Each structure stands twice: as structure tokens, then as C-alpha cells.
Amino acid sequence: MSSGYPEAKDYLLELKRRGVQPGLERIRRFLVELGHPERAVPCVHIAGTNGKGSVAAMLEAILRTAGWRTGLYTSPHLVRLAERIQVNRQPISCEQLARGVNELRPVAGALAAREGDAIHPSYFEFMTALAFRHFAREGCDIAIIEAGMGGRVDATNVVVPEVSVITSVGLDHCEFLGSTLEAIATEKAGIIKPGRPVVIGLLPADAERVIRSVAKDIGAPIGSVAERFGADGSGLPTTNLTGAHQRANAATATVVAEMLGARWRLSPPLIAHTLRQVEWPGRWQRIRAGDRTVILDGAHNADGASALSASLAELVSQTGRPPVAVFGALGQTRAKPLLEALCAHARGIHLVVPRQSRACSLPELEALAPPGCAARLHRATVEALFPAPASCAAGVPGDTVVVTGSLYLVGEVLARLDPSLGLFEPQLQDF
């Protein structure tokens, strides 16, 4: 590990303590000081309540398979901060990350000294600028940029993309984005740029109306999964990622790839072939842990609970045996529908508290469980359930153990199952 990496992390933690600061003025001023690295590499910009990370991974794989040098910017990370910034699916090295922080830090400090501390970039803004600069320096042909939260005032919304993408719209992050589908759709639609195409996934009717209205007003052509594959989902393409929701994500990626067209040499056979071999950790990811199979799934909100329920039902059908679950969540609103899905399909649920300040306590989780489920709930810790590398103590030999409820929990367990991924960095996980 680079000798400068611990110091770089300390600086980023200092920025993170300032909290979430929506708005574009800080990052725009910062990028001016850096010479506009966000303009150096063509990109695809992806927003959505769920599915944006999977669609990003699919598009990156398609473009890389076609021979292009790709950048990929996603958040949050599962285990290590470096996962957020990848070139050809190789995370930025500790040395590169530390060098980037050391180069950008004095620029941010000088900007704040000149114009006031309120203009100093936040943690997520700083990381976003660092990603743009890294992709430019690495000579990427195209970058896939995932919005952190919302879209309109997200720090990533400084790009003018080849294509904008809105994968889904659901009720999540309501304290920042609004409490109705229309309000949240308006925030997501903020990434649409005049004259640049936008692709929409399978959306609720109210949300789709908002997005279509915004696109029409600014002359942005629309590509629609429902129009391309059918609103009932019967014609969706296949992918190796598990679940009907991933087929919908594959359809979204396909429409984007088709819209990128001949310029990027993305043929239908190449697209279909690549979608059958995508790698994206933490999304119904199977790992063998001794005499048990562990499935890691990042379902973390109400829409994710629906997909989780369908996947669990299919798992029971395949194995003939209900799984055991390990569950922890951030926020009671998110936890309740996820617990309901688990109680409908799992024979036992180990409740844990992820290493995040916003995690639900064990009493809170117990109070949220549906009537009749209490006997199947067990208090536990991640350390007790996964005591050593490639080991799992939940359930009994031969069981399938599903870990879900939060990407933060998935990352914590993944790091314990596979120490080769590096030390778990929970302090830097939030946006």
C-alpha cells in the first residue's frame, strides 16, 4: 500500500464529515480550476432509484468487449474506496488515488481560501472530480458515470453525455428527493441534456410522464425499454445476473448500446453475448463458504424488496428448502418491506447491525417484523456469523444463506469471506 494512502484517506474522511451537500456550484468551480477534466472523455450518465450500478456494469462490459478503453465511476463501494474508479474494470491503485488526492487537495484549499469555505468541494464532489481526471489521464475512450443520488443536483451532473439513462424511479432518499414519484422523477430527469438522447427503463406511469415531458421540452430523443421490448417484459434479453429485474436492466443496457450505434461498433451479437457474462459483485452473488452457499444481494429499499422476494421464491423452488437470511438495514422505512420479503421465504433470519451510523438497531428491526415472524428472528453479529475467511456459521451444513438489506452489509460480509479484496473501508462508504 502506498505510504501516502493513509493520509489521503484521512483527508477524505475530513471531507466526509461535512456531510451531504447537494448542489453544482462547488464542483463546477472546482472543475474550472482543474481545467475541465469532465469534458475530456465522452460518457454515458446513469441515474435511477435501482439498477443504475448493474446497468453501468453491463454497459462498461459491452464497450470494453468491443475494444474500447473504459472508465467506470460508481458508488458506494462494497469493500474498498478504489472500487469506485476503474479503468477497464481495474480499480485505481492506492498510489494513484493518493497522488490524485495530493494533487487536487491544494487546488480545493486555494479555491476555498480565495472564495470562502462554503465553496470547498464535498467528499463526493472531490471523488467525482478525481475520477474525471483519472479517466482523462488514463486515455479512456468512454466513461460510464453513475449518479450518486437523484440527478439534478448530483455532483456527476456536470457532464454532457452521449446518452443519459434513467433506469427506474421509486420512493427512496425521500428526505432529499421528495415524497412522490413525480417529485423524484423530476430530480432524475435533471440529468437529461438538450438534444442528447435519454433512455428510460420500465418506469411507473406517473414517473414516465414527467420524464417524457422534460425530454420533449428540451428536444432530447427518447429510447424506451417498453417500446423496444414490450411493456409486459416478455421480450427482455437474458443475462447471467439473477432475477427478472436484471433482465430489465439488461434491456436498458441494450437500448443504450443500440443508441450508441455504429460509431462505437456495438453489434447486436456482441451486446447479447456480453450480457450473458457480466460481473457485478453484491447482486445475488454466490460464494461457497465451507459447507454452505452464501448469496450476497444488495436489495436495500421497497423496490428492491420486490425483486428480492421474487428471487427468494425462485431459490426455494430450485432448492426445495427455505434459506437462512442475514439481515441489516439503514433506516426503518427501507427495512420494513425487506423484512416482510424475508419473513415470507426464509426459515430463519439473523439480525445484525451494519457498521454504519444510520443502521437500524436490533430492537428497531425486531419491532418492524411482521406478526408471526418473531420466533424466526435471532440477534447476531457479522463477526459471529462469518468468523473466518470462507466460513459461515449461519444455519446448518448444506444451507443457502442470503445476506441482504444493505450494500454496506454486503460489503462487510464480502470482505470477511474474501480477505484478498483488501481491508474493509466502512468510514468512506457513504456518498
Q: How far apart are CA 143 and CA 73, in angstroms?
A: 8
State the chain's maximal CA–CA distance in angstroms: 66
Q: Is the per-residue pLDDT at 379 higher than 90?
A: yes
Q: Which of 32-41, 166-175, 371-380 has the highest mean pLDDT?
A: 32-41
Residue 47 sits at φ, ψ, to 5 deg, of -125, 165
**Which is it for the CA torsion 76, 79, 85, 90, positive or negative?**
negative
Mean pLDDT (the chain) is 94
pLDDT for 20 equals: 78
pTM: 0.94
Query: What integer is the mean pLDDT of 385-397?
Result: 95
- Measured N-to-C along each axis, helices 123-137 and 5-16 cross at an angle, to the nearest 10 degrees, of 140
Please answer whether residues 140 and 37 qualify as being in contact, where contact means their C-beta atoms are separated by less than 8 angstroms. no
| Candidates 3.90.190.20, 3.40.190.10, 3.40.30.10, 3.40.640.10; CATH matching 283-428 | 3.90.190.20
| Kind and range of the H or E run holding 195 | none
Please answer whether residues 255 and 228 qualify as being in contact, where contact means their C-beta atoms are separated by less than 8 angstroms. yes
Q: How far apart are CA 70 and CA 139, in angstroms?
A: 9
pLDDT for 135 equals: 98
Query: What integer is the mean pLDDT of 243-272?
Result: 95
Q: Render pLDDT for 311-333 as a digit per residue (tens, 0 to 9).
A: 999 999 999 999 999 999 998 98
Q: Render pLDDT for 105-133 as a digit per residue (tens, 0 to 9).
A: 999 999 999 999 999 999 999 999 999 99
- Checking 250-253 for CB contacts under 8 A at 24+ apart, the result is 250/58, 250/275, 251/201, 251/202, 251/225, 252/51, 252/55, 252/165, 252/167, 252/199, 252/201, 252/225, 253/55, 253/58, 253/59, 253/62
Report the number of secondary-structure helices (H) and strands (E) in the chain: 16, 14
Q: Which CATH architecture has domain 5-275?
A: 3-Layer(aba) Sandwich (3.40)
Location of C-alpha cell 421490448 = 229
Extents of the domains making up the chain: 5-275, 283-428
Nearest Cα to Cα of residue 186 among 78, 47, 29, 75: 47
Q: How far apart are CA 15 and CA 377, in angstroms?
A: 38
Q: What is the DSSP letter of 197?
A: -
Task: HSE, CB side, 13 Å, CA atoms: give it for residue 4.
Answer: 11
Please answer whether residues 63 and 264 qualify as being in contact, where contact means their C-beta atoms are separated by less than 8 angstroms. yes
Please answer whether residues 140 and 71 qualify as being in contact, where contact means their C-beta atoms are separated by less than 8 angstroms. yes
Q: Is the per-residue pLDDT at 1 higher than 50?
A: no
Q: Is the per-residue pLDDT at 408 higher than 60?
A: yes
Any residues with CB less than 8 A from the CB of 310 and at least 6 apart, and which? 243, 244, 245
pLDDT for 98 equals: 97
Q: Is the per-residue pLDDT at 209 higher than 60?
A: yes
Nearest Cα to Cα of residue 324 among 387, 389, 397, 414: 397
pLDDT for 229 equals: 95
Exposure string (b/e) for 81-91, b if CB count within 10 Å is 16 or more? Answer: bbbbbbbeeeb
- Sequence length of the chain is 431
